[in-house]
Amino acid sequence: MKNKVFLKNVLTLVLVFSSLLVFGQAKPNVVILATGGTIAGAGTSATGSEYVSGQVKIEAMIDAVPNIRDLANLKGEQLSNVGSQDMSVAIWLDLANRINTLLAGDDVDGIVITHGTDTQEETAYFLNLTVKSDKPVVLTGSMRPSTALSAEGPLNLYNAVAVAASPLSKGYGVMVAMNDEIHSAKDVRKMITTPVQTFQSPQEGMLGTVIFGQVEYFHKPLGRHTTNSEFSIEGITELPRVDIVYACADMSPDLIDMMVKAGAKGIVIAGVGDGNMNAGTLEAAKKAADNGIWVVRASRVPIGKVLIKGEVNDKEYGTLCSDELNPQKARVLLMLAMLKKRNWDEMQRLFIDY
């Protein structure tokens, strides 16, 4: 009798352990790389607007999300803890190299990056061009700090992990998942300064939705990215300096000369309308281009393409047109494009392809 009970207990234990093993293995492995931002921010009042970004560490952030470990086997790594206004090329390179190393292994199925929202679209786009894997890479953040009433960071993190863990997400390039929506790195823009619906893809639309962990896609992103990208940061420790200048009525043309003097190797002009600028600035841009500085015409208008042959003929002026990229993403592309010597046609092609 005693032996029978013992045998039954052993069998039960074996069953429990083997099912744990099976379920443990069935869950995807997701690594969360934390960089800071409001999602890791803290303030002294739940209802006040004052707070400091990048205060909470990744383990505490994960622990604050109920049931998140049911979605995936999670590991957190703290890469930096800054407000994304302080995001840098150095952190971008670290991030891309770390992601490429992690995703090259069979033991990682997806990556989530927690990041401030201010420059999240730039980081997402940089990674879209430099990550060499079709496994999901998903950025998220929050508009309200962790101490705020109705902080949305925990649900955003839960949903981002669900997107990274989903087999549906393979091959979509780098994405931003926030406020129940999934956006492509190329299309997404921060559109509103403080409300939670800040990330939108106003021209192309969102890729899909993620509602309490349920992932649904509507369409695939267009444009080249990740495994189909020709850019590589292997062995790269810095990127060429590219500055952005904002155009307006009666703009001062000498701003272009000042940027070149300060060491800019490339300039993006957030032009008026269809990437336009006044006659003096256009002449200054032509002079800079003649002297080997790449000048890109983008637009300060939030939505729409800049045309190669609108009021400015780019080939004639030696300037490039940003096509669909806003100024901050055109800057990212230009910095990567300048790592290799290219002629005007090759450079312009990149703005059309990516």
**Closest distance to ligand ASP from the beta carbon of 153 (Å):** 9
Alpha-carbon distance of 151 to 324, in angstroms, equals: 33
Only one of the segments 79-87, 168-176, 211-219, 343-351 lies at the binding site for ligand ASP (rule: CB under 6 A); that segment is 79-87
Please identify the residue of the shown chain whose CB is closest to the bound ligand ASP.
116
Instruction: Tally Cβ neighbours within 10 Å of residue 170.
Output: 12
Alpha-carbon distance of 349 to 343, in angstroms, equals: 10
**Closest distance to ligand ASP from the beta carbon of 216 (Å):** 25
Contact 131, 99 (CB under 8 A): yes
Show the site string, 119-148: x = touches ligand ASP by CB under 6 A, - = not. ----------------------x-x-----
Residue 100: is it exposed, middle or buried by C-beta count within 10 angstroms (0-12/13-18/19+)? Answer: middle
Q: Should residue 53 be labelled a site residue for ligand ASP when binding is judged by CB under 6 A? A: yes
Instruction: Tally Cβ neighbours within 10 Å of residue 66.
Output: 10
Per-residue b or e along 299-319, where b marks 16 or more CB atoms closer than 10 Å to that residue's CB? bbeeeeebebeeebebeebbb
Q: Which C-beta is closer to ligand ASP: that of 83 or that of 223?
A: 83
Among 18, 85, 203, 313, binds ligand ASP (CB under 6 A): 85
Write the DSSP string, 22-65: HHHHHSPEEEEEEEESGGG-B-S-SS-S--BSS-S-HHHHHHTS
Show the site string, 5-44: x = touches ligand ASP by CB under 6 A, - = not. --------------------------------xx------
The reply to whether 281 belongs to the active site is: no
Q: Should residue 200 be labelled a site residue for ligand ASP when binding is judged by CB under 6 A? A: no
For β-strands 214-217 and 208-211, DSSP reports them as antiparallel
The count of residues interacting with ligand ASP (CB under 6 A) is 11
Q: Should residue 221 be labelled a site residue for ligand ASP when binding is judged by CB under 6 A? A: no
Q: Please identify which residue in the block is written with the tokens 């957190």.
A: 76
Q: Should residue 114 be labelled a site residue for ligand ASP when binding is judged by CB under 6 A? A: no
Sign of the dihedral through C-alpha 129, 132, 134, 138: negative
Q: Should residue 116 be labelled a site residue for ligand ASP when binding is judged by CB under 6 A? A: yes
Q: Which C-beta is closer to ligand ASP: that of 49 or that of 228?
A: 49
**Closest distance to ligand ASP from the beta carbon of 27 (Å):** 29
**Closest distance to ligand ASP from the beta carbon of 170 (Å):** 28
Q: Please identify which residue in the block is written with the tokens 């992601």.
A: 99
Only one of the segments 110-118, 213-221, 229-237, 334-342 lies at the binding site for ligand ASP (rule: CB under 6 A); that segment is 110-118
Alpha-carbon distance of 152 to 298, in angstroms, equals: 33
Q: Which C-beta is closer to ligand ASP: that of 124 or that of 143?
A: 143
Contact 187, 221 (CB under 8 A): yes
Q: Which C-beta is closer to ligand ASP: that of 83 or that of 136?
A: 83
Show Cβ contacts of residue 225 under 8 Å, excluding neighbours closer than 6 positions. 128, 129, 173, 174, 185, 186, 354
Among 28, 43, 83, 221, binds ligand ASP (CB under 6 A): 83
Task: Calculate the dihedral angle through the C-alpha atoms of 221, 223, 228, 229, rounding to the nearest 10 degrees.
Answer: -120
Q: Which C-beta is closer to ligand ASP: that of 84 or that of 319?
A: 84
Among 29, 112, 118, 126, binds ligand ASP (CB under 6 A): 118
**Closest distance to ligand ASP from the beta carbon of 39 (Å):** 6
Of these residues, 12, 35, 38, 44, which one is catalytic? 38
Q: Should residue 327 be labelled a site residue for ligand ASP when binding is judged by CB under 6 A? A: no
Contact 141, 194 (CB under 8 A): no
Q: Please identify which residue in the block is written with the tokens 């099912």.
A: 19
Active site residues: 38
Which residues contribute to the site for ligand ASP (CB under 6 A)? 37-38, 53, 83-85, 116-118, 141, 143
